[in-house]
Amino acid sequence: MNKFLFIISVFALISCSQQKGNKKKAIVSAAEKTNGTTEIKFDEEIHDFGILTSGEIVVSAFVFTNSGEHNLIITNVEPGCGCVHVNFPKETVKPGERGLIEVEFNSSGMFGKQFKTIEIYANFKEPKHLAIFAAIKNEELEIKY
């Protein structure tokens, strides 16, 4: 019985991830058709928040430049979990212009080392990835060896 449930779960996860990927490709290809593809360059792609106490909410900004020849249109930004909230420019970023993606991390209920990713979809060839790190202290969940 457990094997059966495991197999069904695996198939459900695979089918959901394939549908999600196809939707993302459609959004990006629509932006490419209307505006061409472009390039994006980040000043920093990884940010370490350092040591936090569980419950702290911290914010960081990832600054970027449209280093391509076409207008940059960010169609979607997906954080890796619900503890990360992202604000990104909804307007077009012209070639040579700078912009920022603001990332808010809520450490409530966490402990230990945390690594979270953010995927950026726009009119460039492949999604871009950003990452944040933190070491969370939580006296209620601390594990001692």
DSSP for the chain, written as a single string: -HHHHHHHHHHHHHHHHHHHHHHHHHHHHHHHHHH----EEES-SEEEEEEEETT-EEEEEEEEEE-SSS-B-EEEEEESSTTEEEE---S-B-TT-EEEEEEEEE-TT--EEEEEEEEEEESSSS-EEEEEEEEEE-TTT----
- Per residue in 29-88, pLDDT (tens digit) is 444 444 578 899 999 999 999 999 999 999 999 999 999 999 999 999 999 999 999 999
Fold of domain 2-137: Immunoglobulin-like (2.60.40)
